[in-house]
């Protein structure tokens, strides 16, 4: 074999550069997810983290997650978990957006088809039938007394029915003035916490929320999780809501709530 020692320096340079690349990706991922965690849309109206990253940093979340997957083994354990979770969320959001776009297209096609449909045919006029002779009178029989159903019986609501009503009432009150907003959020959080305890897992609870008109289109899973966590400590919840200037439950929980627990 020929002597190739003249390339030893280049080989060492590649090894060092490769290790540095791993360190750069690890540092980049740490800054990325820390910024995403602390990004507050209420502080920057009209902005989301994805929009900010795309327009200001020139990096889409989907492309960035694919790149971090390539260097997955070099990342810290908690960063790996964050990469996996965000990749799942992005895939879910794409499926939802695709389904919503399909629903819009289907509705537009149905509207166009209805507009092109011919008007219904007018009913033909039918000559009136001659009157029939009056029937012979029938002896009247005294009607027998029949048992009438008790129309005053009203089915009693179940405990879950009452909790669903409390959740909806809390959402309605939260749209009024400041004090009503506080009371409405307390009703919402405590009722959600009680309702969650009635189900063995999140999937069944999520289906119940959808069936009772408080699904993710009304309160998304992040705000719902925050509401449940705070609803388990009503005393701290009230103190926190009376002091906060935020309105999104997820940011109230992540940034302020812990300061009022146990006070």
pLDDT along the chain (263 residues), means of 10: 82 81 82 87 87 88 83 74 80 78 77 72 63 60 51 70 83 78 91 92 91 89 93 93 91 93 85
The pair of three-digit structure tokens given for residue 95, joined into one six-digit string = 């499926």
pLDDT at 140: 53
Residue 137's pLDDT is what? Answer: 61
Establish if 143 belongs to a structural domain: no
Residue showing tokens 């978990």:
81
Q: How many domains does the chain have?
A: 2
Which pTM does this prediction carry? 0.41
pLDDT at residue 75, rounded to an integer: 74
For residue 83, give its domain range.
Answer: 12-92
- Write down which residue in 71, 92, 113 finishes a domain: 92
End-to-end CA distance of the chain: 77
Domain membership of residue 113 (yes or no) is: no
Residue at a domain's end among 59, 92, 125: 92
Provide the 10 A C-beta neighbour count for residue 6.
7
Domain membership flag for residue 131: no
Final residue before a domain boundary, out of 41, 62, 92: 92
**Residue 48 counted as domain residue:** yes
- The burial class, CB within 10 Å (0-12 / 13-18 / 19+), for 237 is buried
pLDDT score of 131: 67
Residue with tokens 């960063």: 79
Residue 141 in domain: no
Whether 150 is in a domain gets the answer no
Token pair listed for 196:
């969650």
pLDDT at 224: 93
Kindly state whether residues 249 and 169 are assigned to the same domain: yes
Checking 138-147 for CB contacts under 8 A at 24+ apart, the result is none
What pLDDT score does 23 carry? 82
What is the model's pLDDT at position 79?
77
Tell me whether residue 104 is in a domain. no
Q: Is residue 79 part of a domain?
A: yes
User: Would you state the pLDDT for residue 258?
Assistant: 92
């Amino acid at each position: 074999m020929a002597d190739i020692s003249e390339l030893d320096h280049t080989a060492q340079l590649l090894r060092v550069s490769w290790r540095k690349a791993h360190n750069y990706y690890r540092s980049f991922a740490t800054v990325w997810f820390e910024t995403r965690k602390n990004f507050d849309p209420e502080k920057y109206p009209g902005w989301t983290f994805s929009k900010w990253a795309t327009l200001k940093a020139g990096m889409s979340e989907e492309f960035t997650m694919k790149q971090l997957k390539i260097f997955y083994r070099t990342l810290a354990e908690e960063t790996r978990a964050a990469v996996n979770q965000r990749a799942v969320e992005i895939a879910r959001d794409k499926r939802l957006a695709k389904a919503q776009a399909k629903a819009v297209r289907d509705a537009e096609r149905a509207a166009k088809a209805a507009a092109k449909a011919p008007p219904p045919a007018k009913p033909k006029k039918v000559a009136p039938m001659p009157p029939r002779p009056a029937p012979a009178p029938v002896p009247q029989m005294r009607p027998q007394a029949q048992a009438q159903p008790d129309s005053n019986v009203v089915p009693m609501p179940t405990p879950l029915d009452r909790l669903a009503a409390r959740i909806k009432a809390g959402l309605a009150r939260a749209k009024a003035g400041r004090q009503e907003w506080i009371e409405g959020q307390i009703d919402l959080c405590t009722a959600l916490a009680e309702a969650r305890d009635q189900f063995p897992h999140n999937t069944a609870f999520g289906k119940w929320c959808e069936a009772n008109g408080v699904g993710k289109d009304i309160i998304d899973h992040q705000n719902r999780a925050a509401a449940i966590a705070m609803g388990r400590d009503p005393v701290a919840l009230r103190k926190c809501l009376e002091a906060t200037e935020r309105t999104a439950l997820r940011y109230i929980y992540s940034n302020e709530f812990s300061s009022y627990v146990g006070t």
